[in-house]
Chain A
């Protein structure tokens, strides 16, 4: 209950932003807010993994891409040439398939988005379990390398496989109809509902993680971040908790991938790139590692400006500069900056004032 109260202000802010933009006729900002929300969903998952379980992962763009690519391929690539095969018939009888139409009027036999989403997220979770077991035994830079390697493999497969569209990626991905009248799509008319879908998901994710942090598991996780040995000595099964958090964060990434791909109507190999993963890790670091709120804030702000192209060709430069500045002057993340103490340092406030405060 307490947790629900703590995200209430965020909910108010989300609704407030909608009202504000609609009052000022600037609703188009919601497009990039929606996209940023999905990236932030991945980032808060990664924050739980890095900050609370103390495990770095430079491969989370890989999970994002697994979710996005599988969902995109299943809902776009027609199965008509294989419709007589046993597997396709099996999926069909399970109600996973439907006959659709592409934008040029050709008929398609594809997976329903719900089925595709389920398969995509499940695949990501299974892969996370499979690689999590050996990878999480590694430490430090070796762990970083292993997760980086995983990311590279996903990137290379996406870039080299014809089924996934090679360099072009997958385009013309259909809308994801969640409920009748409620669909994830990039159409200009669906913007407001998509804003709420994205932020709804992000709020649920936030709530889930906040609860997790406060649960028995969460306390154990914090124990891990402090010291493996101590947690072990207290009878906490650290290996299991690390793995659970790893899988959970992979699922967050995959869900973000599925939804953003349907919202964008496509996905390309750049989503799986190593620099994307490095970017996510850096955002968690500037958010304050184990600080979900700080990470969320940085995730939204940095992605929002990048997606709007606010800094033009200097986009990466600004990102790099922010990384350096925050890490130099606020090593515990953006929210550790004490605004009052910063103001005190500003010139123009007289000395007596400062002494009075002390």
Chain B
């Protein structure tokens, strides 16, 4: 026993000395990022991390912000809140970062909201749920558009089409949960009744059973599929395989052309609201977002040889908002926070941001454009 104890101690001491504190960087501005690069939400964290790396490289190659280089520290949370909590504390205390970008999911963001608030460190979340910024916490911002606006856009379209009874399907992620809540809450305002609501697993293999169940309800005039996970393409397939051709609406979580490829012909005719990144080339030349959207799209696709998605766009917005604030306020957490709150008419991939003390998202309903899938491409939708 004694021998074991002494070995144990030796090991403990060894571990203690391996962990040498990182050397401090004096002039650089440190930005932390907590993203789900691996794990169940990697389809969000992957593009976000790549976007950030690309942008930091770009800013630094231009000589940094006011001569200060940006040092980016990306932490891979794999989508687990407990890791996000540990990383947030680490970034704030050890790395002394100016601000944190991310996390990718709303569950993680909600966990570290109080930590950032206590440490007075700005947090720019890439998760969509409205509870992140409502109620407002002084240091917490988010860049994806509000779910409620997406829901309103969809319902407005339904009113035009004369649809009054719908079914709601949602993925079992934070994104799906928040969307389902908004749909159920807002529907009565548009005289729309939700007659069926189901939640499916983000790792589903096939959803034909639940599609059969909803289809059996003859009242259903349209389906809203609110999800950000790849499984949302399975819903589209299973509906069309069952020979069911009611209109299918999706959320802004559909904003990745890979989901269209995955659903193949079943994706045709899907209507959904999204940021204008997906249809950048068809925008009018004087549109305030056009040039930056095209630039981001080109740079990203050239560098990573994969189609750009709105998810990476959220990280793009978070980073460019932060950089605008840093250019104005320098390397100071409180001043940067105030500067973000004061940003007006700031064009990003998600829309035109107008922050205020009450609104830490800064986007309005015009950030969304209704789109439809036509010939395996996203095109803007203008009604029948």
Contact = CB atoms under 8 A, between A and B. Distances in A.
Interface stretch (A48-56, A90-98, A306-314): A306-314
Interface string B1-32: 11011111101110110010100000000000
B75 A309 contact: yes
Name the interface size band of chain A. 35 or more
Contacts of A264: 81-82, 85, 111
Contact of B107 (A24, A169, A308): A169
Interface stretch (A125-133, A141-149, A246-254, A265-273): A265-273
Contact of A159 (B2, B19, B135, B172): B172
Nearest to B3: A335
A31 B8 contact: no
Given A13-B9, A104-B135, A265-B111, A270 B4 contact: no
B107 A268 contact: yes
Interface in B97-134: 105-108, 110-111, 113-115, 117-119, 129, 131
A196 interface: no
A103 B5 contact: no
Interface residues of B, number: 56
Contact of B8 (A10, A20, A266): A10
B9 A9 contact: yes
Contacts of A13: 9, 12-13
B217 interface: no
Interface stretch (B53-61, B86-94, B305-313, B319-327): B86-94
Contacts of A316: 38, 78
Nearest to B7: A335
Given A13-B9, A268-B82, A301-B15, A335 B129 contact: no
Interface string A63-107: 000000000000000000000000000000000000000011000
Nearest to A304: B15
Q: Pick the most buried of A20, A26, A171, A339: most chain B CB atoms within 10 A of its CB.
A: A171
A32 B90 CA distance: 9
A267 B85 CA distance: 10
A318 to B, nearest CB: 12
B145 interface: no
B173 interface: yes
Given A28-B93, A268-B107, A166 B172 contact: yes
Contacts of B77: 309
Contacts of A294: 4
Nearest to A169: B107
Contacts of A160: 172, 199
A187 interface: yes
B37 interface: yes
A294 B5 CA distance: 10
A9 B5 contact: yes
Contacts of A186: 85, 89, 115
Contact of A32 (B74, B86, B177): B86
B38 A309 contact: no
B126 to A, nearest CB: 15
Interface of A: 6, 9-10, 13, 17, 20, 24, 26, 28-29, 31-32, 35, 103-104, 159-160, 165-169, 171-172, 186-188, 260, 264-271, 291, 293-294, 296-297, 300-301, 304, 306-309, 312-313, 315-316, 335, 339
Given A160-B199, A171-B113, 9 more contacts: A6-B1, A104-B135, A169-B81, A172-B113, A265-B111, A266-B85, A306-B83, A309-B77, A315-B38
